[in-house]
Amino acid sequence: MTAPARFTSRFPWHLLLTVGAVAVFVLTVGFLSVRGQSPAAPAIKVINLIPASLSGETNQDSEPFLAIQTANPQVMVASAFTPNPVSSTGNAPVYVSQDGGQTWVLNAITPVQRMTCDITHAMATGESHPRGDLHAGTLACASSITLDESESNDVASSATMDVQSTRGNVDQPFVRALGVSSGDRIYVGVNDFNQQNGHTATVDVSVDGGASYKSIPIEARKTMGQDGPSVRPAVASDGTVYVAFFGWRKFDGKTATSDVVVVRDDSAATGANPFQVLKDPSDKLPGALVVKNTSIPWSNAPTLGQERIGSTLSIAVDPNNSSAVYVGWADKGNTGDIYTLHVRSSADRGATWSKTDLPRTTISNATNIALTVANNGVVGLLYQQLTNGRWVTHLVQSHDAFATSQDLALATVPANTPTEQFLPYLGDYDYLLSVGNEFRGVFCANNTPDFANFPQGVTYQRAADFLTKTLNDGSGNPVQISIDPFYFTVPVIQ
């Protein structure tokens, strides 16, 4: 990067030395600005994932996801709608960090050509590969959309991920995994249009590290012909597996009348009839109804700012108390809202749910909800809200079910720039995980290098000049603003 040289030319040293302490301060801030590092408190980090060697890229790198290796949290894999940077026939890449997120590289190892159309992943470590056991679910952007369930034993190598299962006619794979001594257990939520009777909400379960998968339909009620796209598993270390999904009862093209349903299995979905134990008292059918017949707007066009809406859903379980579980979703909630988030909880393994939203979790005009629970029981809530023409990315933490909470704005960026290249603009999801005493996550945002846009500070790997608020290609040539993925780590409140 050429940033230090620029600094020298902008701030002549002999002048700085004559103005004393004030100038020293300016120098410090200026230096950090040009380097793309903020003077913010070191514990919170926000890092632009685009590597320095791809400083010229201008893709809409939306819809981020994150996997953290359980055994060694220094190793992480992130993803977005990032194309292969050099070839239209090469493999779609993922971002890899081996130093806890300080630096990231792009490595083209997925089995999909050029760019995925959906990708999620998890890194359980039941198979004990130091930089591996990455399990991914990908959709290929081909004329027929195909799901691959695949594995890498070394995400730093150039080896293409091994495809273990593949089939068509499914949507939005969402991968979670649990490493156990016998190998990795993998749970892939999918909306499987191959299922009978419109019971499309499905979990693909592998209890042998992906060597074999079994597709398990989890919808028990009549649907309008299918369920909603989002099917979200959450796995506790004791083998409890929850799955949340939208049970679509009616659909008129613009609005889905939907239940928010949660199923549970207490033995890692290894039994003969998994996900049957949680029955709703209203009809005695499997699947607790967190909310019934809510109206969810569906728009596959720019609707919330430049973003589409229709299926944002998250579920999280306390890693040390699998009875405590949280669900968040968006619907047509408040009058005047386009899209409203809600969070509810259960303390009895999903048998009963809070009748109303948890305090301060009815959130107007927001999307991309992601929930997780830290080791100490603190709940993390990530979402992106359209506020006064800006996309504001929030991380909220609470140790008392949101009676009190800490709300951090990680980014606040213009919502009208850049112009969308395709949908989703920011993503149909973002992601949040906990590891040790940290919340770690990913979101996408306008990449203008402006510290005012990142209240907690930010570090860019790519060439950026925070003084002029411009990007360049590493050789000084200007690069236009685009959507980039950002990684963050925030300490869990005590």
Partner 1 sequence: MKRGHAAPIGKGAKMKVSSMVVAIGFCVALLFAMEPRAASQGASDQVSLLKQSSIVFSGTVTQLGAASFAEVPKSAQTIVVRVDTVLRKPAAVSLKRGDNVTVEVKDPSAFHEGTRATFFTDGWIFGSGVAVKELGHQAIAAGEANVPAASESALGKAQEEAGKEELKQRIAAADFVVVARVTEIRKWNVPKSGQYRVTEHDPDWHDAVIQIESTLKGPKVKKNRLVVRYPQCNDVAWVHAPKFEKNQHGIFFLTKDEVSGKPTASLDGKSVMTYTCLSPGDWLPMSEEARVRAAVKSQS
The residue ranges that bind partner 1 (CB under 8 A) are 51-59, 62-63, 81, 83-90, 96, 98, 103-108, 114-115, 117, 139, 141-145, 156-158, 169, 171-172, 191, 193, 225-226, 229, 248, 251, 256, 298, 300-301, 308, 310-311, 420-424, 428, 461, 463, 473-475, 480, 482
Task: For 407, list phi and psi in degrees, rounded to 5.
Answer: -115, 115
Q: Nearest distance from residue 422's CB to partner 1, in Å?
A: 4
Both tokens of 330, joined, read 């968006």
- Beta-strand relationship, 45-48 and 459-460: parallel
Burial 447-477 (b: 16+ CB within 10 A, else e): bbbbbebbbbbbbbbbbbbbeeebbbebeee
Q: Which is nearer to partner 1, 161 or 492 (CB)?
A: 161
Q: Which is nearer to partner 1, 256 or 363 (CB)?
A: 256
Q: Nearest distance from residue 60's CB to partner 1, in Å?
A: 8
Distance CA 129, CA 298 (A): 42
Sheet holding 162-168, edge to edge: 116-123, 134-140, 146-152, 162-168
Q: Nearest distance from residue 56's CB to partner 1, in Å?
A: 5
Q: Which is nearer to partner 1, 81 or 402 (CB)?
A: 81
Distance CA 134, CA 116 (A): 16
Q: Which is nearer to partner 1, 63 or 430 (CB)?
A: 63
Q: Burial of 169 by CB count in 10 Å (0-12 exposed, 13-18 middle, 19+ buried)?
A: middle
Q: Nearest distance from residue 158's CB to partner 1, in Å?
A: 6
Q: Nearest distance from residue 61's CB to partner 1, in Å?
A: 10
Q: Nearest distance from residue 229's CB to partner 1, in Å?
A: 6
Q: Nearest distance from residue 120's CB to partner 1, in Å?
A: 14
Q: Which is nearer to partner 1, 150 or 226 (CB)?
A: 226
Q: Which is nearer to partner 1, 334 or 421 (CB)?
A: 421
Q: Which is nearer to partner 1, 39 or 90 (CB)?
A: 90
3-state secondary structure 48-103: ECCCHHHCCCCCCCCCCEEEECCCCCCCEEEECCCCCCCCCCCECCEEEECCCCCC
Q: Nearest distance from residue 42's CB to partner 1, in Å?
A: 21
Q: Which is nearer to partner 1, 4 or 90 (CB)?
A: 90
Distance CA 212, CA 151 (A): 12
Q: Nearest distance from residue 139's CB to partner 1, in Å?
A: 7
Q: Burial of 436 by CB count in 10 Å (0-12 exposed, 13-18 middle, 19+ buried)?
A: exposed
DSSP per-residue string spanning 445-465: EE----GGG-TT--EESS-EE
Q: Which is nearer to partner 1, 191 or 340 (CB)?
A: 191
Plot region of 101 (φ>0 → left; ψ -120 to 50 → alpha; else → beta): left
Those residues with Cβ within 8 angstroms of residue 320's Cβ, 6 or more apart along the chain or in another chain: 237, 375, 377
